[in-house]
Amino acid sequence: MLCRIAIADDGYVEEVLSNDRANLTASTLDAKAHALVRLGALIAIDAEAPAYMWTLQAARRAGASDDEIVGCLLAVMPSLGVARIVSAAPKLGLALGFDVASALEARS
């Protein structure tokens, strides 16, 4: 698998990108881990709030709790830094149905 990725094997890349089921199977991860890894990637690229929705739904379907989903922020913080996590937190909050900005205002 690593060699095929390293040489950008077109057939293999097309296969794993053809649909989510093929990608999940090829990854050898369980559905929950797969969704949480994807969530970590969205955090890493500083994705906008709407981009989180599909992955968040996949994580919930696979049994991830909101605490586990938010835990992704903590898990990637040492690699990505505090600034990226602070940027991602309200976006992830909105995808979870939680308005971080309003909650912070209410605390003031």
Residue-wise pLDDT for 16-68, tens only, equals 888 889 999 999 999 999 999 999 999 999 999 889 999 999 999 999 999 99
pLDDT of 79 > 90? The answer is: yes
Determine the pLDDT at residue 100. 76
Model-level pTM?
0.85
What's the pLDDT band for 106 if we cut at 50, 70, 90?
confident
Give residue limits of the domains in the chain.
Answer: 30-107
HEC letters along 17-49:
HHCHHHHHHHHCCCHHHHHHHHHHHHHHCCCCH
